[in-house]
Amino acid sequence: MDRLVISATGHRPNKLGGYGDEVYHRLVKLAEQYINEIKPTDIISGMALGWDQAWAHAGINLGVRVHAAIPFLDKNHNGLKNLKSILNGCSINVQVRLLFRKVVIRHIKCRSEMNGW
């Protein structure tokens, strides 16, 4: 079977109708409908409040492998309780900031070696 990986990002709750549970659950249902239609093997989410978390939540609900590309983990994050719950259901969690720093350092080392620095 071929793999189909889909990433999605979207608006924050204040642009989607608010921070309430009703709005969030409607977003999850919308994401579930799309995932059921497309049938990806994996999905990727940036895990921001709003559409990103609803997208990940829908993937978990449907048994799709969810990859969380987390920019950072902030202990004061407004949606930390919901975020932790979703992260527990994800297949892979990557802190992008740390990954990005390693890539940049590696790139600098390669450039310095090429240029004789």
Q: What is the CATH number of the domain that holds 59?
A: 3.40.50.450
Q: Is the pLDDT score of 63 beyond 90?
A: yes
Average pLDDT of the chain to the nearest whole number: 77
pLDDT given for residue 19 in this prediction: 83
Domain membership of residue 93 as a residue range: 5-114
Two tokens at 47? 């895990």
Give the whole-angstrom CA distance, residue 20 versus residue 13: 9
| Structural domains counted in the chain | 1
Q: Of 33-37, 51-55, 63-67, 84-88, give the range with the top mean pLDDT.
A: 33-37
